[in-house]
């Protein structure tokens, strides 16, 4: 898997987008669902606790009220008198009986039994037909206990009983309070929510009351079986049970609530979540694939285009309509490829021009060894025939030729100025006193290296095209420094340079026609040797003179540097 991811930039983008979009969504979905289930159960548990506490309070209040009523009846002289007489219709007793039942809000039926278990008085419409056995059941428990006792009835319901005793403690009869399903319904009405159910079990876990009568037997049997098996109360996973046990009576009050999320509901939610997760997975896959393709396609095109450039195909051009970073990167690649192609073409052109310049220089030499030997012979002939000017001309020209055929491509400025002086001497003999020549070059520039025979063409141009027709010609050669570069300038007060020649001279790279070929060669040599930032520039005013400047980097001989000379 890692190899597949690292194999391609697109694969890394795809996996990153997929994980960053899908995992948070799935984690949030699962956590939110679980959190919702837990919070719902906690909220329902809190509500159930409040409802159960209120039901327990109501049941305790009823028990206390029932106990007080039965105690009042057991101590009533009217009840004692009626039971001693052995029965009969007593209007006064019924008044007492109904008055005592009033606090119980018609939730129970009060019966008065004699010592033989025969019901003599009741708050019901008619006396019950059955006779209770004093030696069994609720009457026996009431006889054996002091105070009120509680017993569940067969099939549901609650019975409370208390013995009525004479002064010696023997039972005269019994007060029995019976609460059936309807009584519990009225007692608990409004105390719990409509979705909840209430169960009341006695100490033996027999059902006393269930708010859903149709399922009373099944619910009691289920809860009893779960209790005996030691299992938690449940309703088949669909309900939650909350119980409160009354310690004094042993009765257990249970509140049954439906779960917020039952099994089928949870399965439906999980199925829906799984379907939504699958849909999100498909959408994430589609989005990640689309985005990775959009991001990787320009990168792949750039990679292929760079491979084409490496193989020598320089006319590669990528079409793009994007305006983002990848679009700008593509445009810059196109610009870079175009600049590379142009630079290569310019480099080839410069090499061709350099070869042509060297060829012209070689053609211009015209076998300088033969000329040098001839000039040397002319010098000795001039001296032999008493012609010093001829000897001087031959000597200066021979020095110039000797420098031109030497193997060094660069010389010091001092040596170059010496050659210029010899050339000026030759031209002085030719033109007489028509011009004056001056050199202004500080000592610190004398050791700087310059290309050989670069100043002589400038001085030659100033003489032949500047001051040759003047009687007061003036030529000055100046050396200086600017921004770390060496400047060599030749100025004159001659006729000036024609505008068309001046424009071509300053344009760089254009051949200068006619007699200005030397200036073009000097400019070409400097640009080829040092780069486009260096070369020749000229200024001129017609009829007032011209000024030609050479710019080249400052370089000096190693021995001059060792001696501490500053260039």
Give pLDDT tens digits for 323-346: 777 777 788 888 888 888 888 888
What's the mean pLDDT in 178-183? Answer: 87
Determine contact, residues 554/484, Cβ cutoff 8 Å. Answer: yes
Q: Which residue has the higher pLDDT, 357 or 170?
A: 170
Element containing residue 391 per DSSP (H, E): helix 388-404
- Position 559 confidence tier, pLDDT thresholds 50, 70, 90: very low
Mean pLDDT (whole number) for 31-47: 77
The proportion of the chain whose per-residue pLDDT surpasses 70, expressed as a percent, equals 77
Q: Which residues of 249-264 are buried (b: 16+ CB within 10 A; e: fewer)?
A: eebbbbbbbebbbeee
State the average pLDDT over residues 493-507: 87
**Residue 245, strand partner residues:** 252
Look at residue 430 in the predicted model and tell me its pLDDT.
77
Q: How confident is the model at residue 85 (pLDDT cuts 50, 70, 90)?
A: confident
Q: How many Cα atoms sit within 13 Å of 486 on the Cβ side?
A: 23
pLDDT tens by residue, 348-366: 887 887 777 765 654 454 4
Q: Are 464 and 455 in contact (CB under 8 A)?
A: no
pLDDT digits (tens, 9 = 90+) for 116-133: 888 888 888 888 777 888
Confidence of residue 86 (pLDDT cuts 50, 70, 90): low
- Closest by CA to 526, choosing from 499, 487, 478, is 487
- 98 vs 536 pLDDT, higher one: 536
Class of residue 442 by CB neighbours under 10 A (exposed 0-12, middle 13-18, buried 19+): exposed
Q: What is the mean pLDDT of residues 150-177?
A: 87
**What's the pLDDT score for residue 264?**
73
pLDDT at 490: 95
Among candidates 538, 533, 528, which has minimal Cα distance to 503?
538
Which segment of 267-281, 311-325, 551-565 scores lowest on mean pLDDT? 551-565
**Residue 488, pLDDT above cutoff 90:** yes
Answer whether residue 549 shows pLDDT above 80. yes
What are 260's two structure tokens? 């917020």
The CA distance from 177 to 151, in Å, is: 10
Which tokens hold the place of 361? 């220089």
193 vs 225: CA distance, rounded Å:
27
Span 436-454, average pLDDT? 92
Give the mean pLDDT of the chain: 79
Alpha helices in 165-257 (DSSP H): 181-188, 216-228
How much of the chain is in helix, strand and coil states, percent to nearest 5?
Answer: 55, 20, 25
Q: How many CB atoms lie within 10 A of CB 175?
A: 26
CA dist list (Å): 135 to 131, 164, 241: 12, 15, 38
- pLDDT band at 506; cut points 50, 70, 90: confident
CA 177, CA 156: separation in Å to the nearest integer?
Answer: 14
Find the helix or strand (DSSP H, E) in which 305 lies.
helix 263-310
pLDDT band, very low/low/confident/very high, at 106 (cuts 50, 70, 90): confident
Most confident of 91-95, 132-136, 447-451: 447-451
Residue 512 scores a pLDDT above 80: no
Please report, rounded to a whole number, the percentage of residues in the chain having pLDDT higher than 90.
12
pLDDT tens digits, one per residue of 228-253: 666 665 555 677 788 888 777 788 88
User: How high is the pLDDT of residue 479?
Assistant: 95
Strand order in the sheet with 158-165: 119-122, 109-114, 171-179, 158-165, 149-152
pLDDT-derived band at 373 (thresholds 50, 70, 90) equals low
pLDDT in tens, 19-34: 666 666 666 667 777 7
Region of poorest pLDDT, from 84-88, 127-131, 219-223, 358-362: 358-362
pTM for the structure as a whole: 0.46
The segment with the largest mean pLDDT, out of 91-100, 262-271, 320-329, 380-389, is 91-100
**Helix, coil or strand: residue 205:** coil
Going by pLDDT thresholds of 50, 70 and 90, the confidence category of residue 515 is low
Within 76-89, residue ranges assigned H as helices are: 77-85
In whole angstroms, what is the distance from residue 285 CA to residue 536 CA?
Answer: 65
The pLDDT of residue 450 is 93
Give the contacts of 100 (CB within 8 A, at least 6 positions apart): 69, 72, 73, 110
Sign of CA dihedral 553, 554, 559, 561: negative
What is the pLDDT averaged over residues 313-317?
79
Q: Which residue has the higher pLDDT, 42 or 367?
A: 42
Q: Which two tokens stand for residue 328?
A: 């700008």
pLDDT at 37 over 90: no
Half-sphere exposure of 290 (CA within 13 A, CB side): 6
pLDDT at 550 over 90: yes
Distance CA 430, CA 439 (A): 20
pLDDT over 80 at 80, yes or no:
yes
In DSSP notation, 208-224 reads EEESSGGGHHHHHHHHH
Check residue 564 and give its pLDDT.
Answer: 41
Q: How confident is the model at residue 370 (pLDDT cuts 50, 70, 90)?
A: very low
185, pLDDT greater than 90: no
Angle, helices 368-384 vs 388-404, to 10°: value is 160
């Amino acid at each position: 898997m890692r190899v597949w991811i690292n194999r391609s930039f697109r694969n890394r983008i795809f996996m990153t987008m997929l994980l960053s979009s899908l995992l948070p969504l799935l984690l949030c979905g699962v956590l939110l669902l679980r959190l919702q289930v837990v919070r719902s159960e906690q909220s329902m548990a809190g509500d159930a606790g409040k409802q159960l506490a209120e039901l327990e309070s109501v049941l305790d209040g009823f028990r206390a009220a029932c106990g007080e009523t039965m105690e009042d009846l057991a101590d009533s002289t009217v009840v004692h008198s009626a039971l001693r007489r052995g029965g009969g219709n007593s209007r006064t007793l019924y008044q007492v009986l109904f008055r005592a039942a009033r606090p119980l809000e018609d939730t129970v039926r009060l019966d008065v039994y004699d010592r033989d278990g025969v019901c003599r008085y009741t708050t019901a419409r008619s006396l019950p037909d059955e006779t209770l056995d004093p030696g069994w059941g609720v009457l026996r428990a009431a006889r054996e206990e002091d105070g009120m006792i509680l017993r569940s009835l067969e099939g549901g319901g609650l019975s409370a009983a208390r013995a009525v005793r004479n002064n010696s403690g023997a039972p005269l009869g019994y007060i029995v309070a019976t609460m059936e399903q309807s009584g519990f319904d009225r007692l608990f009405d409004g105390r719990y929510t409509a979705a909840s159910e209430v169960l009341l079990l006695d100490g033996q876990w027999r059902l006393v009351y269930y708010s859903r009568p149709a399922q009373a037997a099944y619910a009691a049997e289920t809860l009893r079986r779960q209790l005996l098996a030691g299992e938690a109360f449940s309703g088949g996973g669909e309900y939650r049970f909350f119980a409160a046990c009354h310690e004094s009576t042993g009765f257990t009050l249970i509140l049954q609530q439906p779960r917020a999320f039952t099994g089928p509901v949870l399965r439906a939610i999980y199925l829906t979540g799984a379907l939504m997760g699958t849909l999100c997975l498909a959408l994430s896959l589609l989005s990640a694939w689309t985005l990775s393709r959009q991001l990787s396609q320009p990168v792949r095109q750039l990679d292929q285009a760079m491979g084409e450039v490496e193989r020598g195909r320089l006319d590669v051009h990528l079409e793009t309509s994007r305006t983002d970073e990848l679009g700008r990167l593509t445009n810059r690649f196109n610009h870079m490829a175009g600049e590379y192609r142009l630079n290569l073409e310019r480099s080839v052109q410069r090499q061709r021009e350099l070869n042509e310049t060297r060829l012209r220089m070689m053609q211009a030499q015209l076998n300088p060894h033969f000329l040098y030997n001839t000039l040397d012979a002319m010098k000795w002939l001039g001296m032999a025939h008493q012609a010093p000017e001829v000897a001087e001309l031959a000597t200066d020209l021979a020095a110039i030729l000797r420098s031109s055929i030497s193997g060094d491509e660069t010389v010091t400025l001092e040596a170059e100025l010496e050659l210029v002086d010899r050339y000026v001497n030759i031209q002085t003999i030719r033109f007489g006193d028509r011009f004056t020549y001056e050199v202004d070059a500080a000592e610190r520039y004398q050791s700087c290296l310059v290309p050989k025979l670069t100043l002589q063409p400038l001085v030659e141009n100033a003489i032949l095209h500047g001051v040759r027709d003047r009687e007061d010609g003036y030529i000055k050669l100046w050396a200086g420094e600017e921004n770390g570069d060496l400047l060599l300038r030749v100025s004159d007060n001659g006729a000036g340079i024609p505008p068309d020649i001046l424009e071509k001279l300053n344009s760089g790279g254009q051949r200068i026609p006619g007699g200005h070929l030397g200036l073009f060669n000097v400019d070409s040599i400097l640009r080829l040797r040092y780069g486009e930032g260096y070369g020749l520039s000229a200024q001129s005013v017609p009829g007032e003179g011209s000024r030609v400047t050479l710019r080249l980097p400052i370089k000096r001989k190693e021995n001059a540097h060792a001696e501490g000379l500053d260039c």
